[in-house]
Structure 1
Amino acid sequence: MTLEKLTYPDARYFSSLMEDYLVEKDNLKNLYHRFPALENFQDQIEEKQIEFKQKPKTRKVLVESLLNQYSKLDNVQESLSNICLLKEENTFTITTGHQLNLFTGPLYFLYKIISVINLCKQLKEAYPSYNFIPVYWMATEDHDFEEIQYFKYHGKKVVWNKESNGGVGRLNTDGLKEVLDIFKGQIGTSKNALEIIKLFKTAYLDHDNLASATRFLAHQLFGKDGLVIVDGDDHGLKSLMTPHFKEELLDQTSYHKVTNTIANWPEAYKVQVSPREINLFYLNDNLRERIVFENNLYKVVDTKIVFSEKEILTELEQFPERFSPNVIMRPLYQEAILPNLCYIGGGGEMAYWLELKEYFDSQEITFPILLMRNSALILANKEFEKVQKLDLEIKDLFLKDFQLEERLTRQLSEIKIDFSTQKKHLKNQFKDLYTLAQKTESSFERAVAAQERKQIKGLENLEKRLLKAQKRKLKDFLQRATILQQELFPNASLQERQENFSSLYVEYGSNLIKILKENLDPLDLRFSVIILDS
């Protein structure tokens, strides 16, 4: 096995916002609290500890809710041990979140959770007097079923066709036997393939709803690491949020604070999300719709449900689980109920978290350290051999397809496809003409400049024609390179955003997760390329 690292700019698939965040650009420093460096965790620990000492009930309710959520799961000793540690003032969490994608969805699901697990280990070594618990927050209240109803196995979609309303965590698992039958026909009958089929079957056919199925699946993969899986669709946990939900309904604080942050957003970057006036949904079975305030009444969009102020506050007090935070408020919910130090997420997640610090400050909730999850490209040794035969460097594979072709053509051509010398010579010739032009009228000087531009443009066109001719000559070689690139970057996207972990598990089995744990370092802010032996 071989490990290589690339900077995120070289990896090319990441936003300028994330590239600049990872190098601590000054224009972003007011948008976050502490940078993700090991030495910054001591201050984060002390600040979060003070916050949680002021609300002792929170740890008690958190533990009770988690024990209840784990009550129907078997072989949970490591996770239960960590849940019980959450009672202690010296215990903190490191958290990631993810949608309930069918069979984990894209490969980066694994990278997120492994980043969390590995960071907990590093923090325990650096700060041995504290406990650090890895947490996966299931996005059970999301209602965008189309985003999660499929995964890709070797580029082919495996789709769960079903009607869905409301939070996806409550969705029953009917129809997944048919999905399993289709998947069986694609994955084969090897030992590793049969393990995958068994895992899918037990997770989805032996559990009644998507939240339970996903909890089981994540636990099977990472339970031995003590991963604690949180379902926020919970009466006890929501009861801890009633003061913040009440303020949201009455004062719309999140809207005002996030809008102010956006108004001062650095011009170089795109705003990820914009707040609504009320950033809460009303949640019930088969229903998750926005709450709006109109004509002194609280209305649930696209329903006949209407509340007066008194009625909605009574509803909140009695049924807090019926109030569901959106993308603006969900991070606050998580950080309010967890003794959390650091949130680990993808680039898109980091972008909207950076909009939230002012809102967190207004709620007196410690803003977490934000750490971008590990990203990786996994190559089989046979694929790496192809890279070497093509005389490529790993980072060349991350170029756009036309850039890769041009790079190879210039490298392999027996003719030098570079007219820089000719352009320089031409410019030197025009220097004498400019000297002459300065002694006469300005119209002649403009004519000289126009002629120079024309001739430089002519050389550039000749260079392009020569490059095109050499590309035709090297067509077969370039085609092999682009086919390899397409295999490693399906749909011109990162492997981790397209393929499901099963595609690799069939080849490497459980050793795949072991290798990832050994090679993904969450605090090494570079892109990993892992070359696996066949």
Structure 2
Amino acid sequence: MQIQPLERLEWVYPEFFVHYLRDFERVRSFFIYSPHDEAAFARRAQALERLSHRPPREAVARALAAYNAALDAEEPALEAARRLADPQALVVVGGQQPGLATGPLYTVYKAMGILYWARRLAETLKRPVIPVFWLATEDHDLVECNQLHVLDERGRLHRLELPFPARATGGQPPVGTLPLVPAARALIAEVARLAGVAAGHPVVAVLEDARRRATNLGQWVARLLVRLFSRDGLVVLDPMDPALRQLSRPLLQRALVRREAIHRELAAAAARLQRRGYRPGLDVDPAHANLFYFDGRRRAALLWQDGRFTDRHGRLAFAPAELARELEYHPEAFSPNVVLRPLVQDWLLPVVAFVVGPGETRYLAQLRDVYPLFGLEMPVIVPRPGFTLVEPAAVERLQRYGATVGDVLADPAALRRRVLEGLDSLGIDARFAALRQQMKDLYTALLDDLERVRPELRPLGQENLGRILMQVDYLHRKTWQHHRRRHREVARDLDWLEGSLRPAGQPQERVHNVFPYLMRYGDRWLRSLLRAPWPGGHQLVFLDPPVDERAAGPDAAGTAGAVAPGRPAER
């Protein structure tokens, strides 16, 4: 396996995240600490020592140890969970909602980033640093969670999903609580088929074993994360754990009485972002209480309307005192929205660093001044690692057409045009451009003469020319269409490259899932990436050809080099 940095981050990341990575001074005013300042982590650790109002560490540690033990986590993760009780312990945290079989690749990359930063900071700070993955089971965006994409050998991208029960009127149940329907077994089999492996493949068995032991989507994903990373010490946290929700209650209570102040700070930060030319990441209804209420069947946003807290459908209605009493006695029925989630995280855990992706970075830029409303301070925000996995078949196709990974990431349509134009012995574009010009020249002379016959003939002739040029354009398009059909194998190669490296016009890490790669290449590349030094930004990972993982074993990993031999640097 070889690793090569991608220089043009704008090919895979939005502008704000690129500035955060490469030009931090442009966005510094939206954050407390710079992730590029080594001393920032020590200052954050010192700041945490001044915050004494948090829940007892021992209670959080017990809840995490019990939850991970129930997931059959390995001893390194259980020891890490127990060690959170140490007064010197710090936490590196990151998270994601549960997607099918862990969802897009970036979920796994976040877990890897959490492990990397915990290991690195434990060495530099000389203190225990616990890696925690916050599995956002309380999320309600079923459309985002219920999709798994797999590329077949012809370059077709297949979107798989599970037939979860239809959304009920008045709200969606938390996605983590959705029962694993029997179709999950068929989904795993379809992933294996599209990935080109047998039903008895060891990685298929991992997916199937986790499915059998889980009762809902949240548990399935949690068990998969444990299977992948508990040996490395990753601790999985489910915020819907009743013990943790009970410990979160004081912060949620404070959120109810500080709703207006929260929204003032959000609006002020949004205005600052807009003045700097950035689009705000959060657009929260000022009436939103920043809390959801779960009645056991559905999760609904709480809104402040006419002196009461209600939902959008009028099904719920609480006077302030009634809601405060409900929160006091049933905190497990409440969950935070996107604004409060990071604050609940920092309330429960001594977070020294928060590992985030591009979207989270943009909305955290609006939260800097919300943290102090709860006696908290924003931690160091560190970017998650980013990778594009380049399979051997991609390298072969790129070499065949004299292209680079960057050509596909930057503009796959331009690459397609260039390759097909190279196969165009007729000179299609030039011939049709000449034909268009000839028609225009002929009509220009003709219309000059016709105008002397009757002036009204010029606009009629111009309309007639427009129709002729439309027909020329139609023939131009049909010619290219037949040209592509004539070179179907080339078109399929280009389809496959685009589907592999920039599927659906998106960065690979936002679409593809990790398990087809584990099926085809084993886990050696994953274990190698965990050990590799990361320079930051985004890396191209050139995977080695597949081997029999059962013969090689999980530790027979290759080494990560700086640049893949014979592969031009991406610019």
TM-score (norm: length of structure 1)? 0.81
**Structure 1 stretch 129-138 or stretch 64-73: which is displaced more?**
64-73
Any conservation in 1 of the 2:178–2:216 contact (CA below 8 Å)? yes
Change (3 A) 1:275 1:182: closer
**Structure 1 stretch 131-140 or stretch 388-397: which is displaced more?**
388-397
**1:135 and 2:147 are equivalent in the alignment:** no
351, 365, 385: which one pairs with 2:362?
A: 351
Partner SS, residue 282 of structure 2: coil
The equivalent of 1:533 in structure 2 is 545
Rounded to whole Å, the distance in 2 between the matches of 1:49 and 1:8 is: 40
Change (3 A) 1:394 1:304: closer
Rounded to whole Å, the distance in 2 between the matches of 1:17 and 1:403 is: 26
Change (3 A) 1:221 1:304: same
Flag as ranges the 4+ runs of structure 1 deviating above 4 A: 188-193, 405-414, 475-481
Any conservation in 2 of the 1:192–1:507 contact (CA below 8 Å)? no
Q: Which amino acid aligns with 2:271?
A: A
**1:148 and 2:145 are equivalent in the alignment:** yes
485, 496, 502: which one pairs with 2:497?
A: 485
Alpha-carbon deviation of 1:362?
Answer: 2.5
Change (3 A) 1:486 1:525: closer
Change (3 A) 1:265 1:495: closer
**Structure 1 stretch 372-381 or stretch 524-533: which is displaced more?**
524-533
Rounded to whole Å, the distance in 2 between the matches of 1:310 and 1:117 is: 43
379, 394, 400: which one pairs with 1:389?
A: 400
Rounded to whole Å, the distance in 1 between the matches of 2:323 and 2:522 is: 52
Give aligned pairs, total: 476
Alpha-carbon deviation of 1:179?
Answer: 3.0
Change (3 A) 1:8 1:60: farther
Q: Which amino acid aligns with 2:109?
A: Y
The equivalent of 2:459 in structure 1 is none
Alpha-carbon deviation of 1:285?
Answer: 1.4
Rounded to whole Å, the distance in 2 between the matches of 1:71 and 1:504 is: 28
Any conservation in 1 of the 2:58–2:85 contact (CA below 8 Å)? yes
The equivalent of 1:323 in structure 2 is 334
Partner SS, residue 236 of structure 2: strand
The alignment yields a C-alpha RMSD, in angstroms, of 3.0
Rounded to whole Å, the distance in 1 between the matches of 2:36 and 2:412 is: 35
Unpaired segments ≥5 residues, structure 2: 152-156, 426-475, 547-571
Any conservation in 1 of the 2:253–2:324 contact (CA below 8 Å)? yes
**1:14 and 2:6 are equivalent in the alignment:** no
Q: Deviations over 1:37-59 (max 9, x none)?
A: 361211121112322xx136431
67, 70, 79: which one pairs with 2:68?
A: 70
The equivalent of 1:256 in structure 2 is 264
Any conservation in 2 of the 1:8–1:19 contact (CA below 8 Å)? no
Alpha-carbon deviation of 1:214?
Answer: 2.1
The equivalent of 2:223 in structure 1 is 216
The equivalent of 1:234 in structure 2 is 241
Change (3 A) 1:8 1:279: farther
Rounded to whole Å, the distance in 1 between the matches of 2:200 and 2:379 is: 39
Q: Deviations over 1:48-75 (max 9, x none)?
A: 2322xx1364312211322332342325
Q: Which amino acid aligns with 1:235?
A: P
Rounded to whole Å, the distance in 1 between the matches of 2:43 and 2:424 is: 57
Change (3 A) 1:196 1:297: same
Alpha-carbon deviation of 1:345?
Answer: 2.0
Rounded to whole Å, the distance in 2 between the matches of 1:209 and 1:479 is: 41
Change (3 A) 1:25 1:340: closer
Alpha-carbon deviation of 1:490?
Answer: 1.9
Any conservation in 2 of the 1:405–1:478 contact (CA below 8 Å)? no
Unpaired segments ≥5 residues, structure 1: 415-464
Change (3 A) 1:481 1:73: closer
196, 209, 213: which one pairs with 1:202?
A: 209
Change (3 A) 1:478 1:17: farther
Q: Deviations over 1:302-324 (max 9, x none)?
A: 25332222221111111112221
Rounded to whole Å, the distance in 1 between the matches of 2:199 and 2:36 is: 38
Q: Which amino acid aligns with 1:123?
A: L
Partner SS, residue 98 of structure 2: coil
Rounded to whole Å, the distance in 1 between the matches of 2:120 and 2:350 is: 18
Alpha-carbon deviation of 1:224?
Answer: 0.3
Alpha-carbon deviation of 1:382?
Answer: 3.6
Change (3 A) 1:298 1:375: same
Any conservation in 1 of the 2:133–2:235 contact (CA below 8 Å)? yes
**1:314 and 2:325 are equivalent in the alignment:** yes
The equivalent of 2:81 in structure 1 is 83
Alignment of 1:436-455 (within 5 A): none
Alpha-carbon deviation of 1:211?
Answer: 2.4
Rounded to whole Å, the distance in 1 between the matches of 2:372 and 2:23 is: 21
Rounded to whole Å, the distance in 1 between the matches of 2:216 and 2:190 is: 25
